[in-house]
């Protein structure tokens, strides 16, 4: 009886402890950039009617950066201007550049996760943009990163800026002009999008540009430069990823000339794989002992599974290659032993991680839609945000099954965040917190 009571008390304490664990989605695509969370967000909601909407907060300006979460706080970046041109949606492609002539304010905002109330907002930089942007892009594309004490926002040519979670400015770094755009025609500028990562007390940025490409790390507390390496690379918009494989930590970067494995403590190159393709956007994805690396022009080109260990022979570095079907903009996602690749046109392909074998290929919606946001997953479900404003929910598994489609009422360009039972979706004008237990508004 005493043993049973003791077990009961232990289970209650364990449950309470688990419930008290803070929600953490600290960077682009959440924990370790996997895109996968352990929560249980809703399947259906109705923003116009208030069903399962915990809160809806207007966000000033324009930004395609994703929200991040640590505990009871949500962080997001934006660029505001009274004279900024509108962002285009849909299938806009090509070499066009938008030159916003009006002065911008690059801002970091902190919101209360329970209420959506803006707790603080800070202006990191203000002035005229140093480079132009793509018609579909914003001047705040890069997702911030946090370790629970520091919040770091990267605005490309407008610098790297760090705050504590209370909003105190800690340091800023002017990194010079980081000019990304169409290779060979430098008048076509498309603005930066690679997001920073934090590893071992260092914030790391990948800056592949028309000239002077580099990757660098800074002490997250002080901004002191820890290391920097020049790279013979072309412009890219990819975010690096940390892979923990076979007891080794490797920083994986995806660039137009090479896929590289680096020591995150020093930036020293451990290995490289040639994969020449311009306009690399998707982040590498870890699946088991493999890293799947994709992206680049032409759309739908091949993609690869890489063995990231430093001791792997060069001839065995590529585990498998899918001859076609690679994404152009969205980052793929791994759930259990399956890899899901979402094309910009809404075709979802499912592959076996271990072999690269195609399991299925289906269109997410019967309506023509475009996708720039990357899939996220929780509770055995994929959440896919379309530019036209619909979040589609698909069951994770070997057979395609559409569970629901929810209209947010405004365009969606940013990747959603998951915080426990809450799905946080950034629209063109608002940040939404969706939760199954939220009362109707």
- For residue 416, being part of any structural domain is answered with no
Shared domain for 221 and 243, answered yes or no, is no
Residue 365 lies in a domain: no
For residues 282 and 302, give the distance between their C-alpha atoms in angstroms, rounded to a whole number.
Answer: 13
pLDDT value of position 49: 83
Q: Is 106 exposed, middle or buried (0-12, 13-18, 19+ CB in 10 A)?
A: buried
How many Cβ atoms from other residues are within 10 Å of residue 47's Cβ?
21
Ordered per-residue pLDDT tens for the chain, 441 residues: 333 344 343 333 333 333 444 689 999 999 999 999 999 999 999 998 889 999 999 999 999 999 999 999 999 999 998 776 667 766 555 668 888 878 899 999 999 999 999 999 999 999 999 998 888 888 999 999 999 999 999 999 999 999 999 999 999 999 999 999 988 888 888 999 999 999 999 999 999 999 999 999 999 999 999 999 999 999 999 999 999 877 889 999 999 999 999 999 999 999 999 999 999 999 999 999 999 999 999 999 999 999 998 889 999 999 999 999 999 999 999 999 999 999 999 999 999 999 999 999 999 998 999 999 999 999 999 999 999 999 999 999 999 999 999 999 999 999 999 999 999 999 999 999 999 886 655
| Residue 375, both tokens | 């899939």
- Determine the pLDDT at residue 5: 42
So what's the pLDDT on residue 15? 34
Q: Which helix (H) or strand (E) holds 384?
A: strand 381-385
In a domain, 104, yes or no: yes
Rounded CA gap, 33 and 415, in Å?
Answer: 12
**Domain presence at residue 129:** yes
Which distant-in-sequence residues (6+ apart) come within 8 Å of 25 by Cβ?
A: 31, 37, 67, 68, 69, 70, 417, 418, 419, 424
* Whether 216 and 291 share a structural domain: no
d(CA 251, CA 240): 7
193, 228, 263 - which closes a domain: 228
Task: Report residue 346: phi and psi, to 5°.
Answer: 90, 10
Domain end, chosen from 176, 209, 228, is at: 228
Residues 186 and 290 in one domain: no
What are phi and psi for residue 3, nearest 5 degrees?
-60, -45
- The domain boundary, picked from 228, 258, 274, lies at 228
pLDDT for the residue 223: 98
Domain membership of residue 390 (yes or no) is: no
Closest CA to 379 of 9, 31, 35, 41: 41
Q: Does some domain include residue 23?
A: no
Pair 429, 87: CB distance under 8 Å: no
Token digits of residue 38: 């352990």
CB 197 within 8 A of CB 27: yes
In this predicted structure, what is the pLDDT of residue 438? Answer: 66
Please provide residue 65's backbone torsions phi and psi, each rounded to the nearest 5 degrees. Answer: -65, 150
Same domain membership, residue 252 and residue 200: no
Structure pTM? 0.92
Domain count, the chain: 2
Rounded to 5, what percent of the chain is helix, strand, coil? 5, 40, 55
Helices (H), 261-379: none
CB distance 219 to 201 below 8 Å: yes
Q: Please give the Cα distance from 271 to 279 (Å, whole number).
A: 22
Instruction: List the CATH number of the domain containing 194.
Output: 2.40.128.630
Q: Is residue 52 part of a domain?
A: no
Residue 33 near residue 243, CB atoms below 8 Å: no
Say whether both 160 and 300 belong to one domain: no
Residue 17 is predicted with a pLDDT of: 36
Residues 363-402 pLDDT 10s: 999 899 999 999 999 999 999 999 999 999 999 999 999 9
Please indicate, yes or no, whether residues 304 and 192 belong to a single structural domain of this protein. no
Query: Is the domain of 172 the same as that of 309?
Result: no
Q: Residues 101, 164: one domain?
A: yes
Distances (CA, A) of 412 to 189, 243, 373: 22, 29, 7
81 and 206 together in one domain? yes
CATH code of 297's domain? 2.40.10.480
Judgement on whether residues 121 and 261 belong to the same structural domain of the protein: no
- Residue 276 is part of which domain span? 238-326
403 Cβ contact list (under 8 Å, min separation 6)? 43, 381, 393, 394, 395
Domain check: are 127 and 168 in the same one?
yes
Residue appearing with tokens 């942007």: 133
Q: Based on the domain organization, do 76 and 152 belong to the same domain?
A: yes
Is 94 part of a structural domain of the chain?
yes
């Amino acid at each position: 009886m005493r043993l049973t009571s003791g077990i009961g008390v232990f289970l209650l304490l364990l449950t309470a402890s688990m419930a008290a664990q803070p929600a953490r989605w600290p960077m682009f695509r959440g924990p370790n950039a996997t895109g996968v969370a352990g929560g249980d967000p809703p399947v259906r909601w109705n923003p116009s009617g208030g069903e399962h909407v915990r809160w809806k907060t207007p966000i000033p300006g324009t930004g395609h950066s994703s929200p991040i979460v640590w505990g009871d706080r949500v962080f997001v970046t934006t660029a505001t201007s009274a004279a900024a041109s509108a962002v285009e949606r849909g299938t806009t492609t090509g070499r066009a550049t938008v030159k916003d002539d009006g002065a911008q304010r690059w801002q970091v905002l902190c919101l209360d996760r329970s209420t959506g109330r803006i707790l603080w907002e800070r202006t990191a930089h203000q002035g005229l943009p140093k480079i132009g942007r793509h018609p579909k892009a914003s001047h705040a594309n890069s997702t911030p990163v946090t370790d629970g004490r520091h919040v770091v926002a990267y605005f490309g040519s407008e610098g790297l800026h760090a705050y504590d979670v209370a909003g105190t400015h800690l340091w800023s770094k002017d990194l010079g002009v980081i000019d990304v755009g169409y290779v060979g025609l430098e008048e076509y500028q498309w603005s930066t999008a690679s997001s920073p990562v934090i590893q071992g007390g260092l914030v790391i940025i990948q800056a592949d540009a028309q000239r002077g490409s580099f990757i660098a790390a800074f002490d997250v507390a002080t901004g002191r430069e820890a290391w920097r390496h020049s790279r013979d690379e072309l412009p890219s918009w990819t975010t690096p990823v940390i892979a923990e494989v076979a007891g080794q930590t490797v920083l994986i970067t995806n660039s137009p000339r090479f896929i590289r494995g680096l020591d995150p403590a020093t930036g020293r190159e451990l290995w490289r794989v040639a994969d020449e393709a311009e306009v690399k956007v998707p982040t590498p994805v870890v699946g088991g002992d493999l890293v799947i690396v994709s992206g680049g022009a032409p759309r739908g080109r091949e993609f690869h599974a890489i063995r990231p260990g430093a001791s792997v022979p060069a001839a065995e570095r590529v585990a498998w290659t899918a001859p076609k079907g690679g994404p152009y903009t969205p980052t793929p996602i791994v759930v259990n032993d399956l890899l899901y690749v979402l094309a910009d046109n809404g075709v979802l392909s499912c592959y076996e991680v271990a072999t690269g074998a195609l399991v299925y290929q289906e269109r997410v919606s019967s309506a023509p839609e475009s996708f720039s946001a990357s899939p996220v997953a929780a509770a055995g479900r994929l959440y896919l945000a379309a530019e036209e404003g619909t979040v589609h929910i698909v069951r994770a598994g070997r057979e395609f099954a559409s569970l629901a489609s929810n209209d947010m009422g405004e365009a969606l360009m940013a990747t959603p965040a998951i915080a426990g039972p809450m799905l946080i979706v950034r629209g063109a004008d608002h940040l939404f917190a969706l939760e199954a237990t939220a009362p109707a508004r």
